[in-house]
């Protein structure tokens, strides 16, 4: 029996922000298509969400760092009704640009930018045909800084989202770029970054990011920033001269390198 419930497709859905998006949307009655690389964790998450919220949850195992993985998700977007797309799959690097092999930088860019562009393109076309839909692209406040390839990829995602939103301005399709600051999500532990010295004020929760993003997307906002401290930082970042942004980014990067 075909469900009439709205359906969301979420990449990087087994932990952190992606999992919180899945939980909140499931709580609202959305069916889910969850995308991740780790099949065991993905299927466990899918079963748990379906049982907890009484919705239909499907697992799509795909590596968005590869062309076949991206193509598999695009096929779902082309052939299934997806009302909300959340491009959340993450990839990070710990270390300076010149200390990182080019292939690793390229792989990160594929996940953080190339996949976002391609999935958004397919979703937007399908949503235009149905006359409704929403796309949320998880960028980062790092994208307004000059802190290496990660920031560059997130900046590209932000600019792409702004451009796509402009193209869809006169349609019922919304595009929202989500710019988290430091999030208690396990991401930094995965990439081996030591953030133990950061004060509690620096952190927001994945629940806070997802809830703010969904609220902002439904209000038609192009940029969503969770946490007053980060909304202030984003606002300041919009008016600071670029040389000052570069100086602050360099100082912060050096601070991270010398932290115990």
The tens digit of pLDDT for each residue in 131-150 reads: 999 999 999 999 998 889 99
- The pLDDT-based confidence of 29 (bands split at 50, 70, 90) is very high
Phi, psi of 193 (to 5 degrees): -90, 130
- Mean pLDDT, range 57-86, rounded to an integer: 98
Q: Is the pLDDT of residue 260 over 80?
A: no
What distances in angstroms separate CA 36 from CA 10, 58, 64, 77, 258, one per listed residue? 9, 11, 8, 15, 34
Instruction: Enumerate the domain spans of the chain.
Output: 7-258
CB 92 within 8 Å of CB 191: yes
- The pLDDT-based confidence of 191 (bands split at 50, 70, 90) is very low
CB crowding 229-241: b at 16 or more within 10 Å, else e:
ebbeebeebeeee
Q: Has 30 been annotated as catalytic?
A: no
Phi, psi of 147 (to 5 degrees): -95, 60
Q: Please give the structure tokens belonging to residue 85.
A: 């797309």
- Collect all residues with Cβ–Cβ distance below 8 Å to 146 and sequence separation of at least 6: 245, 246, 249, 250
Q: Right CATH number for 7-258 from 3.60.20.10, 3.50.50.60, 3.40.50.720, 3.40.220.10?
A: 3.40.50.720
Three-state SS for 35?
Answer: strand
Confidence (pLDDT) at 259: 41
pLDDT tens profile 194-223: 455 565 777 799 999 999 999 999 999 999
Share of the chain above pLDDT 90, in %: 77
Where on the phi/psi map is residue 12: left (φ > 0), alpha (ψ -120 to 50), or beta? left
- Collect all residues with Cβ–Cβ distance below 8 Å to 164 and sequence separation of at least 6: 120, 124, 135, 175
CB 88 within 8 Å of CB 111: no
Three-state SS for 89?
Answer: coil
Per annotation, catalytic residue among 150, 198, 230, 234: 150
Q: Quick check: pTM over 0.75?
A: yes
């Amino acid at each position: 029996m075909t469900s009439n419930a709205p359906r969301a497709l979420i990449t990087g859905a087994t932990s952190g922000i992606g999992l919180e998006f899945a939980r909140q949307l499931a709580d609202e009655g959305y069916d889910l298509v969850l995308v991740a690389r780790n099949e065991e964790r993905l299927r466990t998450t899918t079963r748990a969400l379906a049982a907890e919220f009484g919705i239909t949850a499907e697992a799509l195992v795909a590596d968005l760092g590869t062309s076949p993985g991206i193509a598999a998700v695009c096929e779902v977007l082309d052939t299934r009704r997806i009302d909300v797309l959340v491009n959340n799959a993450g990839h990070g690097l710990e270390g300076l640009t010149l200390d990182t092999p080019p292939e690793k930088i390229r792989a990160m860019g594929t996940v953080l930018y190339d996949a976002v562009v391609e999935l958004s393109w397919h979703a937007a076309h399908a949503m235009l045909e149905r006359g409704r839909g929403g796309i949320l692209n998880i960028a980062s406040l790092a994208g307004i800084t000059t802190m290496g390839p990660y920031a560059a990829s997130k900046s590209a995602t932000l600019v792409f989202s702004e451009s796509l939103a402009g193209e869809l301005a006169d349609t019922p399709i919304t595009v929202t770029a989500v710019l988290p600051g430091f999030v208690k999500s396990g991401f930094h532990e995965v990439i081996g970054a030591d953030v133990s010295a950061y004060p509690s004020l620096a952190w927001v929760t994945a629940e806070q990011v997802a809830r703010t993003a969904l609220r902002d997307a439904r209000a038609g906002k192009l940029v969503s920033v969770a946490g007053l401290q980060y909304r202030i930082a984003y606002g300041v970042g919009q008016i600071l001269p670029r040389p000052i942004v570069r100086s602050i980014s360099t100082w912060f990067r050096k601070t991270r390198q010398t932290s115990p």
